[in-house]
Amino acid sequence: MGFRENLKIELSYSNILVKELAVKSGVKKSSIDHYLSAKGKIPSVEKGVRIAQALGVTAEFLVTGEDSSKSTIQRLSNTTRLIEQFVEQLDDKKKVFVLDFVKWLLSRKDEADTF
């Protein structure tokens, strides 16, 4: 995947709006919209780095989808935080469902390679 796809994924993952990213990065919203468009070009190195920093990732990640500077543990920690944010938005009945689902996944740990 390229910059556009990785930026879309990271925006979704970070649960941040384009206008919020523009404010945090100092890059115009119209520029970010352009990077996200099908015909969009990648930003200059300076803008790419500012966008990456605002999202808490490296420019390498936005360009390649891989990040050799972050350990898997750090990335999983971010994932855990994101899951917690999503679960907090659920009503109690759905929270119980999520808990039961996670317990079910853990019970199938020997089959983890099949997912």
Cα–Cα distance for residue pair 5/38, rounded to 1 Å: 10
What's residue 15's pLDDT? 85
Cα–Cα distance for residue pair 99/4, rounded to 1 Å: 34
- CATH top class, domain 3-64: mainly alpha
Q: How many CB atoms lie within 10 A of CB 59?
A: 19
Cα–Cα distance for residue pair 42/36, rounded to 1 Å: 9
Strands (E), 4-115: none
Alpha-carbon torsion angle 3, 49, 59, 11, nearest 10 = -60
Residue 110 has pLDDT above 70, yes or no: no
pLDDT in tens, 19-77: 999 999 999 999 999 999 977 788 999 999 999 999 988 888 888 877 666 555 555 56
Cα–Cα distance for residue pair 34/40, rounded to 1 Å: 5
Q: Where are the domains of the chain?
A: 3-64, 72-109
What's residue 29's pLDDT? 96
